[in-house]
Amino acid sequence: MKQKVVFIWMFLCCVFMQLMGQQPKTVLYLMPFYTSTYDESALYNAKTGKELNNIPSFQMMGFWGGAQLALQEYEDQGIPLEVVVRDITNDEAKLRRILEDRDLMSRVDLIIAPLFSKPFQMAAQYAKEYQIPIVNPFTSRDDILEGNDYVYKLTPSHDANPATLAFMTDNMPHHQIILYSDSVKKNNELQVYRSYFDANHIPYHAVCSLQGVLNLMRSDMHNVLVVLHQGEAISLTLSQRLLYSGKKVDPEHLLMVVPESWISSNTYDVEYYDKLNLHFFSDYYVDFESEQVQLFVYKYTQRFNTIPTLKNFAFQGYDVTRYFIELIRHDMDQDEVKVTPLSYYFSFDKRPDGGYENVNVQFLQVLDNTVLPATY
């Protein structure tokens, strides 16, 4: 009889421990859906996906669609989650009412908030008060991290670019780095590069004219040319001058880092992509050849009758949801998260005076008119 009682007691303990382990995590989504300004006529008048995405009510629908697919995976696995979604735009009074709901906030384990700056700052302060991790998927502003250990900023700042470039060029024999800007004094991004290179004793040249670039180009070494112009007009001029200057400029002697906007520009001639060995930094990259991505595209298309893209934030919504739910399920230990994101490259560093910043930027190259991760 005594053994039977001990067995029942042990069985009940096991059941209790399992139930404790299955306590649902609560995720609060603060989404700018603009439902109060929904315009049905604009929906029916939209002729392209771009026009549809320009409608405020639809700008975050792709993000939420990707998130729903991620949440479905947890449901299929029998992992309990409580999901709370609130439509938030610039209505600070409405946001404050939500955040002051102590019954809700006391059980929230994670806040995902792709909000504008001021509403996000308000939400972040409440997250700090309740000690809840809060995620901003899109801003690159560093100030959201200041003084708040619970904020996660997913978009790397420009500081990550020179560090990534320096890492890549470490494997490149006999090279020189040329920073080309329209003004060596006014370009903030140029100052970021100079500060990093100076602090790490990395030699470089800084020039502010096309002729200055051409004068520095050499055929006996690798020329790493970092273009810090955003204007599209300079893209064609610079490319033509490089190719037809009479100097030996070819992909074997040149690695040209350009603004991402050049790659998607309708004015930039695709013939220059391979000839100039174009590279660029980006916040996201999706390998559409991978089985994981193809499965996601199939599921998303079947469910929402539209194709997921980076521009409608579908991949980002899936990644953010999967990664951060895994993070809270593993007590915020990054090393325990085994999720492979579809579009992000996550690695977070803790700021000494605040929250966590993703420090891994995507460094991509254009090869045979295809965008691929850069490798050296």
For the segment 249-301, what is each residue's pLDDT rounded down to a tens digit?
A: 666 788 999 988 888 776 667 777 777 889 999 999 999 999 999 999 999 99
Does residue 7 fall inside a structural domain? no
- The answer to whether residues 224 and 313 belong to one domain is no
* Letter string b/e over residues 284-322, b meaning 16 or more CB atoms within 10 A of that residue's CB: bbbeeeeeebeebbeebeeebeeebebebbbbbbbbbbb
> Of 125, 118, 117, 115, which is closest to residue 63 (Cα–Cα)?
115
Same domain assignment for residues 268 and 214: yes
Print the domain residue range for 112. Answer: 25-156+289-362
**Looking at the structure, do residues 146 and 165 belong to the same domain, yes or no?**
no
Distance separating alpha carbons of residues 112 and 63, to the nearest angstrom: 11
Q: Are residues 34 and 176 in the same domain?
A: no
The verdict on residue 192 lying in a domain is yes
Same-domain pairing of 182 and 305: no
Q: Would you say residue 357 lies in a domain? A: yes
Tokens for 373? 């991760």
Q: Within this chain, do residues 274 and 303 fall inside the same structural domain, yes or no?
A: no
Order of strands, sheet of 175-180, starting from the edge strand that comes earlier in the sequence: 205-207, 175-180, 222-227, 254-257, 278-282, 362-367, 370-373
Q: Which of the listed residues 256, 281, 306 is the one where a domain comes to its end?
A: 281
Domain total of the chain? 2
What is the reported pLDDT for 21? 47
pLDDT of residue 238: 81
Please indicate, yes or no, whether residues 105 and 55 belong to a single structural domain of this protein: yes
Pull the structure tokens for residue 138.
Answer: 């899109």
Query: What is the reported pLDDT for 14?
Result: 46
Q: Torsion angle, CA of 292/298/302/306, rounded to 10 degrees?
A: 110
- List, for residues 126-163, the tens digit of each pLDDT value: 999 999 999 999 988 889 999 999 999 999 988 899 99
The DSSP output letter for 369 is: T
When pLDDT is cut at 50, 70 and 90, the band that residue 5 belongs to is very low
Q: Which of 218, 252, 281 is the last residue of a domain?
A: 281
Residue 299 lies in a domain: yes
Q: What is the pLDDT of residue 230?
A: 62
Alpha carbon 335 to its chain centroid, in Å, reads 19
- Pair (313, 167) in one structural domain: no
**130 is a domain residue:** yes
- Mean local confidence (pLDDT), 206-235: 85
Q: What are phi and psi of 206, to 5 degrees?
A: -120, 120
Residues 152 and 173 in one domain: no
Residue 144 belongs to domain with CATH number: 3.40.50.2300
110 and 133 belong to one structural domain: yes
Same domain, 35 and 130: yes
Spatial separation of the C-alpha atoms in residues 132 and 160, rounded to whole Å: 26
**pLDDT tens sequence across 35-69:** 444 444 444 444 455 544 554 455 688 999 999 99
Task: List, for residues 78-98, the tens digit of each pLDDT value.
Answer: 999 999 999 987 788 999 999
pLDDT, residue 38, reads 43
Do the domain assignments include residue 234? yes
